[in-house]
Structure 1
């Protein structure tokens, strides 16, 4: 990116502070400037990684609807709009590529994936977030694709499961058990889709909330992978976020998990740290108060010191080593950009 273009982008991000109420716990001005610059550098990196057909890739799975959708949301989280501005054409290409991968049953998936429903949930969330940012004709196309994607999520939830797993999702459409990792993306997708007018029955949200609460530890000290599992920082962020976006505000489970996170903060060697950056950031932002302050300052300290010279973040630990720099960098942008509140899902 040229210096003049970089200055323009930094000016755009700095202007966010003038148009939005700044929380009392916001970081100091010098740190905020560093955050703004880190986001611009990271967007430069992501721009350089887009493939000619519009996709982004993960190291393990190649062209990927999850990585592409996260990259698109990263740009949108910093105020960039499909079809407009310096990244408008690039965003349109990314969105069109994701939609072109929709299968007959509604699944948004490339040929290879960590798990179909995992990638599908992320892609569905991205389409829902993008609808309000595009013109009317494009919004109609996105809405049609989104509605098919939502129906698949609801059909997957409805497969018969035992009481411990009812209400959740796992990697396959017809899975007969659930986990909080996959469930988190479906919940976010359904909540965002409902906000743009898709038919999402209240019963589906209620069942998902019940499953998420079942993944909280018995003493409400964090959330685990499945009911009865031990708590992890990443999954505690997932649990808190799911409850908050579904309207289960300030629950014992969420506050207990947030309190646990004070003593067990997310680290780069935490299991699945990078999507934990997104979820702990969003969940604690929505809880507000001291929890939001602690989380945001921790993420800023953690991420600003780890950004690479090329603007990326590099996953180095076992659980995410194969996801690639584009996936990790997009999630870091999404974690840092929460205060901008451009994405609808970030609204309190």
Structure 2
């Protein structure tokens, strides 16, 4: 069975420096990975700017920068990057709207930025129990609940409609709810089961069938899709992460999507160019790394997803990180590739790469192991 993580709250996570204390062994992390992570964090700190937002008004990107530090064990106000965490969190909290919305970009990015930023605040709250973060997080969660569409998904704009737009939005909001649920913040009945249903409805079999009640959908290979039709590695991984984080370990869709993800990782070539290009675009990498970790090594089907695939991702990240000592704009960075370019793309790529390299440290509440029974009952998933 896959592993589930539950938050430590009330200040239990007290180690404040980025050094691996939870890693199982050298196949998870090594000195080269630690050095690459530190170079990435140094790039983020060096390029953050006085406002704490890396020159970006995209709260999702600012949140990702924050998440990189948190994932490496750096807490607000403590240690070498404590000030960086403080400033980025301050920027997010100061720009939360009275409605609870965490977006100051265009309305079409409302729920994308909101979901990702809410997830990050949930992790920060689980690590600090900071009342200021808690108040903003509570308002942000209520907005998510109030804008859930009738089919269980969400739209890009913060509004309730009949149908959600796509799987990426459903997963992002579900992760935000999961990020805060085990910190004791209230979740109205029915929200999570409906969201999980929406995720499952985005699965499509290779034979062309879809739907929760169609028996043929289980036949042969298949994967999660963006909109019911377009299957991508990112959506395969995102759907898996959502199911895992809500304890749906025995869902038959998980191994089918993990087969696809593993195949894509196997296609990666050994990288040592230090050209800043990630093994996948940043969005895809963000979910692929989490899917591998959350599923772990499935002994019941003899599939060591995490042990077999994570070292390949890790080593690829080490080999493509830019190494240009003295160049403040490039040394230690990665590019996002995909749809985000320029300085925002470098922030996104570097933050996600650091997050993936820091996963073995298990500092984030979402990466902590624990029992799920109480949470599933509370959320109506038992």
TM range (shorter): 0.7 to 0.9
Report the Cα offset of residue 183 of structure 1. 1.8
Matches within 5 A, 1:64-83: 64-83=58-77
Matched, 1:306 2:320: yes
How many angstroms apart in 2 are the aligned matches of 1:207 and 1:187?
10
282, 297, 301: which is aligned to 1:274? Answer: 282
CA distance in 1, matches of 2:108, 2:264: 27
CA shift, 1:170, in A, is 2.7
Q: Identify the residue that residue 332 of structure 1 maps to in structure 2.
A: 353
Deviates more, 1:42-51 or 1:109-118: 109-118
Q: 1:187 pairs with 158, 174, 177, which one? A: 174
Determine which structure has the larger helix proportion and give its number. Answer: 1
Residues 337 and 345 of structure 2 are in contact (CA less than 8 Å); yes or no, is this contact kept in structure 1?
no
Contact 1:64/1:113, CA 8 A, preserved across alignment: no
Segment of structure 1 superposing worse, 69-78 or 193-202: 193-202
1:43-67 Cα deviation digits (max 9, x unpaired): 000001212112124xxxx322111
116-125 or 106-115, larger mean C-alpha shift: 106-115
CA distance change for structure 1 residues 178 and 111 in 2, over 3 Å: closer, same or farther? closer
Residue of 306, 315, 320 corresponding to 2:340: 320
Which piece of structure 1 moves more, 101-110 or 148-157? 101-110
What is the Cα deviation at residue 202 of structure 1?
4.7
TM-score scaled by structure 1?
A: 0.84
Provide closer, same or farther for how the CA distance between residues 168 and 77 of structure 1 changes in structure 2, counting only shifts above 3 A.
Answer: same
Deviation string, structure 1 residues 58-94 (Cα, Å, up to 9, x no partner) = xxxx322111111111001001000111111221111
Residue correspondences, number: 315
- Alignment match of 1:208 (pick from 195, 202, 214): 195
**Cα 1:116/1:274, change in 2 over 3 Å:** same
Question: Equivalents in 2 of 1:294, 1:212: separation in Å?
Answer: 27
Match of 1:170 among 155, 162, 165: 155
1:202-225 CA distances to partner (integer Å, 9 max, x unpaired)? 521111111111112225532110
What does residue 45 of structure 2 align with? 47
Q: What residue number does 1:124 align with?
A: 118
Matched with 2:368 is 347
Which of the pair has the greater relative contact order for Cα pairs under 8 Å at 6+ separation?
2
Structure 1 residues 250 and 283 mapped into 2: Cα distance closer, same or farther (>3 Å)?
Answer: farther
Give the TM-score of the pair, scaled to structure 2.
0.77
State the shift of 1:121 in Å. 0.7
Q: Structure 2 CA distance, aligned partners of 1:223 and 1:208?
A: 14
Shift of 1:344: 0.7
Shift of 1:301: 2.6
Cα distance in 1, alignment partners of residues 131 and 71 from structure 2: 22
Report Cα offsets for 1:242-282 as digits up to 9, x if no partner.
00001111421111100122223386688x72122121111
* Alpha-carbon separation, structure 2, partners of 1:56 and 1:197: 32
**Aligned alpha-carbon RMSD (Å):** 2.3
Distance (Å, rounded) in 1 between the aligned partners of 2:295 and 2:337: 30
* Separation in structure 2 between the aligned mates of residue 202 and residue 285 of structure 1, nearest angstrom: 29
Give runs of ≥4 in structure 1 deviating > 6 Å: 266-270
- What 5-or-longer segments of structure 2 have no aligned partner? 1-15, 206-219, 269-276, 298-303, 324-330, 370-382
2:304 counterpart of 1:284: no
Supply the distance in 2 between the matched residues of 1:269 and 1:341 (Cα, whole angstroms): 22
